[in-house]
A and B are shown apart, each in its own frame.
Chain A
Amino acid sequence: MGYRIGVDIGGTFTDFCVFDERSRTLQSLKVLSTPAQPGSDVMHGLRRLQQRFEVDPADISYFAHGQTVGVNTVIQRNGAKMALLATKNFRDLLEVERLRLPEVFNLMSVRPAPLISRDRVFPIEERMRADGTVKVPLNEDDVREAVRTAKAMGCEGIVVAFLNAYRNPAHERRTLEIIRKEAPEMFAFTSSDVWPVIREFERTITTVLNGYVHPKVRDYLTSLQRVLKREGVPATPMITKSNGGVMGAERGKTSCAQVLLSGPAMGVIGASYVAGLCGERKVLSLDMGGTSADVALIENGRPQYGVGEHIGDFQLFIPSVSVSSIGAGGGSIAWVDSYGSLKVGPESAGSDPGPACYGRGDRATLTDAFAVCGFLEHVKLGFGEVTLDTDRARSAVGAVAQRIGRGLQKTAEAIIHVAVSGMYLEFGKMTAKYGIDPRELALLPFGGAGPMIACFLARELGIGRLVIPTAPGVLSAMGGLISDVKNDFIRSLMLRLDDGALADVQRGFKELTDEARRWLKDEGHFRGRTELRYSADMRYLGQKFEIEVPLTVRAATKTGFARMADDFHRRHQQVYDYCDPTAAVEIVNLRLVIVGVSPKPEFRKIARSSKRPQPVAVQQVHYDGTARRVPVFHRADLKAGCRFAGPAIVLQDDTTTCVLHDFDVRVDPYGHLIIERRS
């Protein structure tokens, strides 16, 4: 029994979530992030936890940590100087990408400069065929020469990505041996180690990203380990991953591509957990902060997974929790274009200067619009340290009002509606992509700005129910402390699914299983229940996109193999509304996910009371063209079982929930606010 701690390091704040296994209660804390001194924010937070909640570092039994070092390295483009060793005559994967340009309507659109410039891409004579046989043997002299030149150019590391290496990694492995011998001081990664999937560009860019962030991530994790040791934390630090799982920090130093998108993933994991507690089957989570909002679909407590998530100018092709990013946040700036149209975002006031009402900026933001409407009159920022400057918000919004020739209140409302319609557009694309009807969904808003705007968005989307978590501002940190130990494994096959494929499928799954068990064993500390999830990427012969098909039976057996095709047809029917049981099926990849299930904290139910809660204030709020008197509540005063009708404003340390007049609120046994639209 001890404390489980989840930490999420963001651009402005570092969030802590502490679960006390004895009292089964959850506490949270925010401290300022210190990107310049890695680890000092964590140290500061640990000390505050001790002061505030008497958490003795020696009692910390679990410590999971999400970081943004990797993703910032890519965005700021200050990663490692590297060389790429590529198959001769195929030197330009990074220069050409997949052809398509970023802005398809713009004749001046150009691709971002590659992370490794062409003079550091070395063609190596070698060639594997698609069936894994050698067409041209590896020219080892080419490799030695390339390593020497790369060294002379001042490269810190080398990435090796050869054609068809997903099928036979022998040339990549031999090349790695030569690099280790010739230049032991340089780091090196091969595509077959990082993510051995078919599709040469996708495999290469993923390997390049892994190397690019490696030195920074490694150094950061080393300093984190040092801090924890010095503070006397006995738990092995875990690091959160893009796939929504965790792994030991030591491993994160080399498996860097896997931790790049852990921030948004953890929020979704936290949201999934809350959705499960509330018994919601289909949930859209909305993580909205100052500059952007991340949206994800959660079905039956599980998020969607996908590949190709964006990091800065690039895409990453290892399985990640699927998150769509929308350029709308509390800090999104309202402006008027030359045609007199009101626009909101994508430019954001971010955290510095922040919305005008935070007292430093003077451009109107979405948050200022809420302030002008009167929603934020009693809000205190930064855990009670700052009061909002509504006058400043009024003058900022007033400047916009002048340009569009409307009154102040009307302009504030217009800003909210334009922002919401922009979010509607992005949500609409996402629901279309997954083929879901938003009216079947519940919305789960979190982050600083999510609960503020959620009712407006629910109206626009036709969503009838919202769930507000107990600590919306630190849900990502909470995600970290409930995550499972988890890793993905893949084998690309490209085989027709018939009896001839049985041996390959059996061998493939056997190898994946052995590899996965070895991986979990190497994690060392894990002692719980283990799950192996088998799936395969399949498609009809001739199709260009494959779909991931969860396999109902372990396909390594003969009966299991026979059912693979059935599983595929059924899944295809679900996704595309048709299937063709007579058509030939192709297996693209075999997949295995190993999960070391971590013990989930059992949250304690909160105190019950059916008494109507007492508002701490009543506030005049303008929206829908009317001024209304709106009661203001403290979240802590809302007991399980209590109900009240909107309009209402609910205050808590990390966010403000705005309930509109056509919604009703009830508090569930865990303290979540369930907000439903009155029909």
Chain B
Amino acid sequence: MSIDNVTLEILANHARAAVESMAYTLLRTAHAVFVSESQDFTSTLVTAEGKTFTYHQDTGTTWMVTLDCEGFIKLIDSYEEGDICITNDAYSGFVVTHYPDLMLWKPIFWKKELVCFATCFIHHTDVGGTVPTSVSRDNTVVYQEGIRVTPRKLLKRGKVNRDVLEMILANVRAPEQSWGDLKAQIASMNTGERKVHEMIERFGLKTFKEGIHDLIDSGERQARDIIRSIPDGEYRFSDYIDEDSAGGWPVRIAARMVVKGDSILLDFTGSDPQLASALNVPTGGGERPWIVLNGFVTAFYSLVPHLLLNSGLTRPIRCIFPEGTVLNPQFPAAINARSIAAIRLQDIIVGLLSQAVPNHMPAAAGGAVVILNVATVDERTGKRVVTVINPVMGGGGGTPHADGPNGAGGTCNFLMNTPLEITEAHAPTDILRYELEPDTGGPGTYRGGPSIRMEFQIHSPSTVNTRNKDRSKFQAWGVNGGKPGKAARYLINPGTNREVDTGNADNFAIEPGDIVSLVSSTGGGWGSPLDRDPETVLADVRQGFVSVASAERDYGVVVRNGVVDGQATQRRRAALRKEKAAGYFDFGPFRDEFERVWHDGNYRALTEVLTTVPVHWRFFVKHRIFEALARRGGTGIGDDGSAVYEAFEQLGREVPLPRNLPGPRMRARSGRRRAASRNRVPASASSA
């Protein structure tokens, strides 16, 4: 620390005032619905090296506190006053993480010296590609996901570079809107530049330059203090995305966290291979990608409220991402739907920390944040309209002190819904229901918040886009005796003979009169439901959050004629306590069933065999192995991974699998497995 604490505190206030002003300027002037509806933007200040030293908290996304822009900053040869650069390409420096985010940065000079950068992104409504809004899980390569703007100058010494601008606008579906949003971004960074100049006038150049690094050091110190309070040890956790492609197999993300003193190592070895769908998270194998580590920012903030927010918070953390995996895909793997994986990563970080500091972390939140758009024709005007209907997500997980919030929670707490009256006035839409769904929040001493049930009917042929659907199979887990939250249900025409389960499909057409029904996945419970105060359970029954049947089945509380039957409750609870309890985490039956086949042993074997084939083969190989094990119907599959080795060998006989150099260890082990398999499993695997 080179400047004193009092000055630093004052500088921290000024720096935050600067970025709040930047964010307000952007919010006031932007066009995109994602700005006003989803707050999907940031506008902040970073050091000359690209590290965030302050962050807005009143508006904008909460996800990018530890943004590090070094990756793209260094791809521009030289900076001059008045330049503004642009990129949306993740693979150019691994700062941006999907194509709709057009990210700009502006060098800020003081007397010809570059002192820092302003930077900002907006999730633009569309950047071209195969589908409107550019986000579809089903894309496989980046060329389908929109125009790739590799780092270049949009403004040169204050003048717009028309060649670049026109090329971008010619490739997006709403060019006027995009240009409006780019102007808002430029205005926002100009505000930032003015504010930095004011700060330098107020504090002096030396104090400013040293101070912004000291702020990051303070952030780091806070994080190290927090980490020191977490018991040393090795913690493991994994969680899943329902499908790796349309109708595909689950995606596993596995993490090992080593806490030692004041630092953390996070190793994602064992996570799935990179996917032939758009769920990949482009990290470039960096040590602290913001999109992966954001979960630590909210977790730390939950442990120590009013933390100083900047990139120093994740400095004590180092990640390992093996190349060619879902968290470190090779070019040109598609990435636009990476939010699903990013949300799951946040669950995983909470799951890891929960084992270390169980009394300070919540159970999993709903874990899927469905953004709902309807494209239809307004019969009154004949015009095509795209309506944004509510985000459908949550509730949150129970915490060590309180029930999870209703219909929200987790890491998208900044989202707002759209008033139904506004939606109905705009589009030929009848909202039929927007209400909490009873018996959904994971039972617990503190239960998960109930799901939202949203149902609507459109009276003309329409396309419904429901991006980021997930958690309709794997449930949000309960903790410490708490039960998992209910999985999501995404239906058309529920309860009729025309009922269709759309599963996680994100784009589908509906006919006039169809009813679309979405019940969000919801959070797990914290602590045993048998320890929940019977009177609190009764209050839930009275308020309709919990049915009488669930009170008895899940909480062991017998409610008769509107009051708790004390003796029956005691008996019921005593009986329930004798039943076999889940472990510290309760993942629910779907995952338990899945892991009977796909347990750690088989995943270890899968990871091992996949590393022996080139990256672009891995998704294919994974699918074939999953299919092979599925054909065996779960019978005769041991915990040693032999079934995987067998399937892999079999596949090698069927297709010309190119091999990376198989390590000696691999050869030895697979040889041993082969021998074992000959004894144990006869023709069933090879006959298929």
Contact = CB atoms under 8 A, between A and B. Distances in A.
A118 interface: yes
Contacts of B17: 424-425, 427-429
Interface stretch (B152-160, B337-345, B400-408): B400-408
Interface string A70-113: 00000000000000000001111001101111011111111100
B543 A90 contact: no
Contacts of B301: 105-107
Contacts of A414: 6
A110 B397 CA distance: 11
Nearest to A494: B425
Interface residues of A, number: 66
Interface of A: 89-92, 95-96, 98-101, 103-111, 117-119, 129-130, 135, 163-164, 166, 198-202, 338-343, 404, 406, 414, 417-418, 421-422, 424-425, 427-429, 431-433, 435, 460, 462, 494, 542-545, 575-578
B207 interface: no
5 contacts: A95-B407, A107-B299, A108-B399, A421-B10, A428-B17
Given A100-B414, A106-B301, A199 B421 contact: yes
B113 interface: no
Contacts of B390: 99
A432 B544 contact: no
B305 interface: yes
A406 B5 CA distance: 11
A79 B351 CA distance: 41
Contacts of A105: 57, 62, 297-298, 301-302, 307, 309
Interface in B11-52: 13-14, 16-18, 20-22, 24-25, 28-29, 31, 33, 36-37
B672 to A, nearest CB: 46
Nearest to A431: B21
Q: Lowest 10 CB-CB distances: which A-B pairs, in order? A: A428-B17, A432-B21, A118-B543, A432-B24, A494-B425, A130-B424, A421-B13, A544-B36, A89-B433, A421-B10
Interface in B297-340: 297-299, 301-302, 305, 307, 309
B405 A342 contact: no
A118 B36 CA distance: 30
Nearest to B191: A432
A268 B486 CA distance: 51
Contacts of A91: 435-436
Contact of A110 (B9, B16, B202, B402): B402
A163 to B, nearest CB: 7
A460 B201 CA distance: 11
Given A105-B57, A421-B13, A198 B434 contact: no
Interface in B213-257: 218, 221-222, 225
A60 to B, nearest CB: 45
B172 interface: no
Given A91-B435, A432-B191, A109 B405 contact: yes
Interface size class of B (residues with CB under 8 A): 35 or more
A130 B378 CA distance: 14
Contact of B415 (A100, A118, A404): A100
Given A96-B407, A96-B434, A429-B20, 7 more contacts: A100-B414, A107-B410, A118-B545, A129-B430, A198-B419, A545-B36, A577-B29
Contacts of A90: 420, 433-435
A343 B33 CA distance: 38
A342 B401 contact: no
A575 B28 CA distance: 8
A96 B544 contact: no
Contacts of A166: 421
Given A92-B436, A96-B452, A417-B6, A104 B414 contact: yes
Contacts of B448: none
B420 A163 contact: yes
B391 A99 contact: yes
Given A101-B413, A199-B419, A421-B9, A164 B408 contact: no
B270 interface: no
B350 interface: yes
Nearest to B195: A428
A339 B221 CA distance: 8
B9 A341 contact: yes
Given A110-B405, A118-B544, A163-B420, A429 B58 contact: yes
A89 B417 contact: no
Contacts of A462: 198
A98 B37 CA distance: 11
A109 B413 contact: yes
Contacts of B426: 494
Contacts of B407: 92, 95-96, 99
Contacts of A109: 405, 413
Contacts of A421: 9-10, 13-14
B422 interface: yes
Interface of B: 5-6, 8-10, 13-14, 16-18, 20-22, 24-25, 28-29, 31, 33, 36-37, 57-58, 62, 180, 183, 187, 191, 198, 202, 218, 221-222, 225, 297-299, 301-302, 305, 307, 309, 350, 361-362, 365, 390-391, 396, 399, 401-411, 413-422, 424-426, 430, 432-436, 452, 539, 542-545
Nearest to A541: B426
Contacts of B414: 100, 104
B37 to A, nearest CB: 6
Contacts of B436: 91-92, 95-96
A263 B465 CA distance: 48
B345 to A, nearest CB: 14
Given A99-B407, A404-B5, A544 B362 contact: no
Contacts of B33: 542, 544
Given A89-B432, A99-B407, A108-B302, A119 B421 contact: no
B25 A435 contact: yes
A573 to B, nearest CB: 12
Contacts of A96: 406-408, 417, 434, 436, 452
Contacts of B218: 339, 341
A375 B54 CA distance: 35
A111 B405 contact: yes
Contacts of A431: 21
A487 B426 CA distance: 30
A424 B13 contact: yes
A425 B411 CA distance: 26
A138 to B, nearest CB: 18
A543 B33 CA distance: 8
Nearest to A203: B421
Given A96-B407, A119-B542, A341-B5, A432 B25 contact: yes
A638 to B, nearest CB: 32
A108 B446 CA distance: 12
B420 A404 contact: no
Contacts of B542: 119
Nearest to B449: A110
Nearest to A90: B434
B302 A107 contact: yes
Contacts of B10: 417-418, 421
Contacts of B62: 104-105
Given A199-B422, A343-B9, A422-B13, A101 B21 contact: no
A101 B408 contact: yes
Contact of B425 (A100, A104, A198): A198
A198 B433 contact: no
B416 A339 contact: no
A105 B51 CA distance: 20
Contacts of B410: 107
Given A164-B421, A421-B14, A95 B415 contact: no
A108 B408 contact: no
B367 to A, nearest CB: 13
Contacts of B221: 339
B21 A342 contact: no
Nearest to A118: B543
Contact of B421 (A104, A198, A435): A198
